[in-house]
Chains A and B, each alone.
Chain A
């Protein structure tokens, strides 16, 4: 049996993570909107179970109102998004504070599980209306509201970071499919209804 020369395990460096959108041209130009991937974020799933959660975590208020977000520094800063009773998603800057491990809280690192996209522009909400059943107009999906919904049949978490800025969090495995759909990348235009054989 052949044998490796020596144990090189200590020689491996810590690699940089690879985005699921590696290879996609960025940004994508949509009608009246730009689609980009956000980098440099850490994402934490916070679950307090049935215990009472702390008011704040990592410098953010944990919102109690369903489908709302605490993002005190606006689209450029961190955000705490309501997911369910006692559950939040924290989107933090990788260089900023990390959540303290409180005994009552369960923290699960989801940085690699979700891909964070940002849609910016006057046409952002129209683009979403092409594949989402919710009313995402400015009147009903206001700044710092969030929604867990389907976009082109893909589960997403949407956050109205601003009137013209919508953040999308999508499961990593779906990220490329969502990107291609939103960016209208060519993939079989129209309906293939042509018969392949003679029909009566």
Chain B
């Protein structure tokens, strides 16, 4: 099969068969592997194209750095892991078998240095006897100084691929889909199920992880309705894709079953044959599928046999060898031996012979094998060595397998006798099939062991699960097709659809098709072939995690008897393949070591995802600025114009400060506070939650949700209110204005707006349905600007005809009228402690209000200020806010106990009376100032007694600092905090404020928590 390079200098595909395969030979795709330019065809995977070019060595193993090749053909392949792409598009640990070959594809081997052929770390192999399972833990734990030094070296050697360092340049998206019937797997059973469900009128989603749909019908030489099976596949796919009720998703892995018919599926759009990767669009799509019913037609995964040297490139699964021959027209070797413990091996021998590849022997551990397939193989003159096993292999790093040794087999022996070497380069091996039950088991189904088929079968106790084809148990092809049809019809009927009489007929399978012959034949339970006295290789159970038969035995001897412990200790079944080819063998070996039957040992837990999902698909479009939705004030743009620096506060973007001429944050805040205190400032308070409350019972309703009384509030007045949770802790605070007898406008804190709305709705709907009250959130309806400072009245007078004098609009009053030509509500309330007005206008006019106020206020020295200055002023004034309303404080803790009405009941009333909540020793709000008058106190600091300065921990804690600022208006730093016993115990005493993370301790004096204008003369002016 050796061919000369063509005129381009690129070597021809030396191992491509002359005919056959579902590939487009008219088009040639170029790709690179480790810098070599190679070619393939549309329809190839990266794995099939590498094999077509005679590339057998594709990777080095995880732990021992032994040469590895392609073992399998699908998602189960443990060893053919490569890195794709470059730079930001570098993607490690990609399975070559699942990568659709595209023009320009760039792939590189992993885990090898300086090259795949000459890997320095492979020199460690002679030391492997000293690297048993768990050797990291055993070797480098003592003395303790060694581990930090050893860990980086070990991680570097044992790592699997490297992650890219640049942001991912591709886009991803999510998609929700609802259907009557989801069919997972588009092999013979899945296609029949989807077709039958459609015939019943169902909305169907058909998803398959492979880019080419058809499953085993493409991989085998099957004849349906007297024509190649691929023809039938195309016919059915044509029926499905032409109907708008069906969504066909190739290259889409259903990765997990979740509760209540919810499934996640990852679609690799660039891997779809019809996709042009150059065209703009998302690279992958994560489907959120809600299915009324689901048919699993996920097939089965072949199990390799375990023998010494079973990891060499050239050792492949027997079914995968057939797939490479038939679907991809690739000869995986020049001369083969088949080694299988059941009749499927003979099927591979027939296909190899048909492809012109000599078969040196079929080696079968069963003695005296007879049957239609063995007889057909014998008739072709292929030697059948029944009662024999493969005991060892030989080969080279670059060339892979070169010979195998054949030994007579006796069950129960510890060692095999001297064998006979056969020079071959391909060993097709099969130890049986495991139904692919991962999705079935994700929601708690427990597959049960079947000693006859030597495999786990579906949990019979799991509700209406439709398992069609091989995943529901191995059967002849005609039964597979029928089971698909039955499942599709059953699922459609369960989804509430009426079944048609006919439609979706099963195709006819030729009676002599090997797919009809193997099911139900005798199988040998050969889990690990005994070693010869001297072996060239290890007996690997898990090829990805480099776990051997001896490792499983050692783990058991060390007491790790649970299959879950075995997994964690040895890494068996971990990694990107999650043990698809190794788990069952591993647990049977563990069962043998424990001298217990397999069901006693059980399986490890099946968890989603079935195969790895890239992080980009999980994130979808929610990245960067769109990681979470952002809320913007109606004044956002105009404040940005004014130079605001924004800060994310919850979902809101809030202006933090307005720096001028290169000011720092501290300088800008200082100036904003000073200007407001001396002249006038304005701040955006649109973020506050607003709730419109109307109805004849509105005042009574407020009486029941706030701790203080509301029925006596006159129209045109505002009151500060405090509401509690049911447990007596403060939920929220804010001001509420009475606009009419039956109409109130409530404000909440920004953070709790949604929560308070829910709380009120809940109270109305559940506790007091008899109250006639209507609520609606108006947070977004209003733009709100607070004008604060001694000149605020003067400025307001300038822009409104309203009488805003202290007589007409006193502190805690509300008026309505035009401000700057805009209909407005004006509230005389103050958070800063200054004379202040809060102006609310319909949100669309907010920007104009801001511009007109700015213009009119410039002569008065108006400054905009941000949340930092707002925070400074409220701390100076001693107003509580989020850091004080932290869910652990009562009104009494906050010094607001006098607000709590004794004349009525309200939410939280009863539980507020619990002794612990009225204990005078509870931490209560105090003010603190540093004794030296200079040192800043830090929010989050702990408060301790002075005599505990320098004491070793644990130190009794007296309280903590909740808010702190530099106190520009009072001339020294100030802080609010909570102190056990409060002012009554601590007034004018000195405590220590410590911040252990920074190692600071500051002596501070305890004072009342109002630092600025405690009499309130400024706000009442």
CB neighbours of A139 from chain B (8 A): 203
Q: Say whether A192 contacts B780, CB under 8 Å.
A: no
B173 / chain A contacts, CB cutoff of 8 Å? 130
Most A CB contacts (10 A, CB to CB) among B155, B630, B769 go to B630
Does B625 lie within 8 Å of A189, measured CB to CB? no
Min C-beta distance of B797 to chain A, whole Å: 7
**Contacting residues, chain A, for B846 (C-beta < 8 A):** 18
How far apart sit A134 and B822, CA to CA, in the bound complex (Å)? 40
Take A189-B171, A191-B619 as given contacts and tell me if A4 and B178 are in contact as well, using a CB distance cutoff of 8 Å. Answer: no
Of B175, B627, B860, which contacts A2 at CB under 8 A?
B860
B163/A137 in contact, CB under 8 A:
no
Chain B positions within 8 Å of A152 at CB level: 621-622, 626, 629
Give the complex CA separation of A137 and B791 in angstroms.
59
A154 to B621, CA, bound (A): 14
Closest to B764 in A: A49
Query: Which one of B114-122, B771-779, B965-973 contacts A?
Result: B771-779
B288 with A130: CB separation less than 8 A: no
List which B600-632 residues lie within 8 A (CB) of chain A. Answer: 615-616, 619, 621-632
B623, B652, B774, B860 — most chain A CB neighbours (10 Å) = B774
Judging by beta carbons under 8 Å apart, are A181 and B637 in contact? no
Q: How far is the CA of A51 from the CA of B772 in the complex (A)?
A: 9
- Within 164-181 of A, Cβ neighbours of B (below 8 Å) are at 171-174, 176-178, 180-181
Whether a CB of chain A sits under 8 angstroms from the CB of B554 is: no
Q: Are B615 and A9 in touch, CB under 8 angstroms? A: no
- A23-B637 in contact given A4-B859, A187-B626, A193-B163 (Cβ < 8 Å): yes
Q: Are A112's CB and B288's CB within 8 A?
A: no
Task: State whether the Cβ of B899 lies closer than 8 Å to any Cβ in chain A.
Answer: no
Contact between chains at B168 and A190 (CB < 8 Å):
yes
Q: When each residue 120-158 of chain A gets 1 if its CB lies under 8 Å from chain B and 0 otherwise, what string results?
A: 000000100111111101011000000000001110000
Instruction: Mark out the residues of chain B between 733 and 784 whose CB falls within 8 Å of any chain A CB in the assembled complex.
Output: 769, 772-776, 778-782
CA of A49 to CA of B775 in the docked complex: distance in angstroms?
9
Please, which residue of chain B has its CB at the minimum distance from the CB of A153? B629
Q: Tell me the interface secondary structure of chain B in the complex.
A: mixed
Question: Which of these binds chain A: B459-467, B515-523, B527-535, B798-806?
Answer: B798-806
Please give me the residue from chain B that is nearest to A194 by CB atom: B165
Type the 1/0 row for B821-860, where 1 means its CB is closer than 8 Å to any CB of A. Answer: 1100000000000000000001111111000100010011
Contact present for A112 and B629 (CB under 8 Å): no
Q: Give, as a whole number of angstroms, the nearest-CB distance from B834 to chain A.
A: 15
Output the residue of A10, A135, A178 with the most chain B CB within 10 A. A135
A27 to nearest B CB, angstroms? Answer: 19
Per-position binary interface string of chain B over residues 136-176, scored 1 when its CB falls under 8 Å from any chain A CB and 0 otherwise: 00000000000000011001000000011111111111111
- Contact B632 A193, beta carbon cutoff 8 Å: no
Determine which residue in B167, B169, B172, B860 has the highest number of CB atoms from chain A within 10 A of its CB, and name it: B167
**Footprint of B on A, CB under 8 Å?**
1-4, 7-15, 17-20, 22-23, 45, 47, 49-51, 106, 108-114, 126, 129-135, 137, 139-140, 152-154, 171-174, 176-178, 180-181, 184, 187-195, 200
Residues in B neighbouring A4, C-beta threshold 8 A? 794, 798, 856, 859-860
- The answer to the question of B695 belonging to the interface, with a C-beta cut-off of 8 Å to chain A, is yes
B826 to chain A, nearest CB (A): 13
**Is B634 located at the chain interface by the 8 A CB criterion?**
yes
> Can you identify 6 A-B contacts, CB atoms within 8 angstroms?
A106-B774, A108-B778, A111-B844, A132-B176, A135-B178, A190-B167
B290 in contact (CB, < 8 A)? yes
In the assembled complex, which residues on chain A have CB atoms less than 8 Å from the CB atom of B166?
A: 194
The CA-CA distance from A152 to B163 in the complex, in Å, is 29
B649 to chain A, nearest CB (A): 12
- Are B774 and A47 in contact, CB atoms less than 8 angstroms apart? yes
Q: B423 within 8 Å of A by Cβ?
A: no
Contact A188 B625 (CB under 8 A): yes
**Docked CA distance A109–B155 (Å):** 63
Among A22, A106, A109: residue with most chain B CB under 10 A: A106
Contacts of B288 in A (CB 8 A): 133
Query: A-B pairs with the 9 shortest C-beta distances?
Result: A188-B624, A17-B844, A12-B821, A190-B168, A113-B781, A135-B178, A173-B631, A47-B774, A187-B625
How many Å from the CB of B338 to the closest CB on chain A?
Answer: 45
Chain A, residue nearest B693 (CB): A106
Tell whether, in the assembled complex, residue A188 and residue B626 are in contact, meaning their CB atoms are under 8 Å apart: yes
B624 pairs with A189, CB closer than 8 A: yes
List chain B positions with a Cβ less than 8 A from chain A.
151-152, 155, 163-178, 203, 288, 290, 615-616, 619, 621-634, 637, 652, 692, 694-695, 769, 772-776, 778-782, 791, 794, 797-801, 818, 820-822, 842-848, 852, 856, 859-861
Query: Once the chains bind, are B623 and A192 in contact (CB under 8 Å)?
Result: yes
Contact B844 A200 (CB under 8 A): no
Give every chain A residue within 8 A of B781 (Cβ-Cβ). 108-110, 112-113, 172
Best-surrounded residue of A135, A172, A194 (most CB of chain B within 10 A)? A172
**Measured between alpha carbons, how far is A129 from B797 in the docked complex, in Å?**
52
Residue of A nearest to B621 (CB): A181
- B847 engages A18 (CB within 8 Å): yes
**Please, which residue of chain A has its CB at the minimum distance from the CB of B153?**
A200
- Across-interface contacts of A7 in B (CB, < 8 A): 797-798
A191:B818 contact, CB within 8 angstroms: no
Contact A14 B821, beta carbon cutoff 8 Å: yes
A8-B798, A9-B800, A173-B632 are known contacts. Are A189 and B176 too (CB-CB below 8 A)? no
The answer for the CA separation of A78 and B355 in the assembled complex, in Å, is 72
| Sample of 11 more A-B contacts, CB < 8 Å, known A129-B177, A189-B167 | A20-B632, A20-B634, A49-B773, A113-B781, A130-B175, A130-B621, A172-B634, A188-B623, A192-B624, A193-B168, A193-B615
With A and B bound together, what is the CA distance between A49 and B765 in angstroms? Answer: 11
Contact status A180-B168, CB under 8 Å: no
Q: Are B780 and A190 in contact (CB under 8 A)?
A: no
Chain A, residue nearest B618 (CB):
A191
Please determine whether B692 and A108 come into contact, CB atoms closer than 8 angstroms: yes
- A2 touching B799, Cβ below 8 Å: no
- Name the distance in Å between B279's Cβ and chain A's nearest Cβ: 12
Closest chain-A Cβ to B668's Cβ sits at a distance in Å of 23
Partner of A173, one of B151, B633, B774, B842: B633
Tell which of B174, B633, B695 touches A131, judged by Cβ atoms closer than 8 Å.
B174
Closest B residue by C-beta to A115? B780
Contact indicator A200/B628 (Cβ below 8 Å): no
Nearest-Cβ distance from residue A24 to partner chain B, whole angstroms: 11
* Bound complex: CA A22 to CA B636 (Å): 11
Q: Which residues in B have their C-beta under 8 angstroms from that of A3?
A: 794, 859
CA distance A162 to B821 in the complex (A): 40
Note all chain A residues with C-beta closer than 8 A to B177: 129
A130–B843 Cα distance when bound, in Å, is 30
Write out the residue numbers on chain B whose beta carbons fall within 8 Å of the beta carbon of A111: 842, 844
Q: Which partner residue on chain A sits nearest B635 by CB separation?
A: A18
Check A190–B695 contact: CB distance below 8 A.
no
- Name the residue among A2, A17, A49, A173 with the largest chain B CB count within 10 angstroms: A173
Residues from chain A with a CB closer than 8 A to the CB of B798 are 4, 7-9
Q: Which residue of A lies closest to B772 (CB)?
A: A49
CB B159 to nearest CB in A, in angstroms, measures 9
CB closest chain-A residue, reference B617:
A191
CB atoms of A191 and B844 under 8 A apart: no
Q: How distant is the Cα of A139 from the Cα of B632 in the complex, in angstroms?
A: 36
* B780, A12: Cβ atoms closer than 8 Å: no
Q: For the complex, what is the distance from the CA of A20 to the CA of B861, rounded to whole Å? A: 29
Nearest B residue to A196, CB-CB: B165
Give Cα A112–Cα B847 distance, bound, in whole angstroms: 13
> Quick one: given A9-B800, A17-B844, A194-B167, are A177 and B615 in contact (CB under 8 Å)?
no
Q: Considering the chains assembled together, what is the distance between the CA atoms of A49 and B694 in angstroms? A: 10
Q: Which of B630, B692, B818 interacts with A9 by CB under 8 Å?
A: B818
Q: A135 and B290: CB pair below 8 A? A: yes
Chain B residues, CB < 8 A from A108: 692, 694, 776, 778, 781
By beta carbon, the residue of chain B nearest A172 is B780
Q: Which residue of A lies closest to B262 (CB)?
A: A133
Nearest Cβ in chain A — how far from B165, in angstroms? 5
Rounded to whole angstroms, the CA-CA distance of A114 and B695 in the bound complex is: 23
Q: Distance (Å) between the CB of B174 and the closest chain A CB?
A: 6
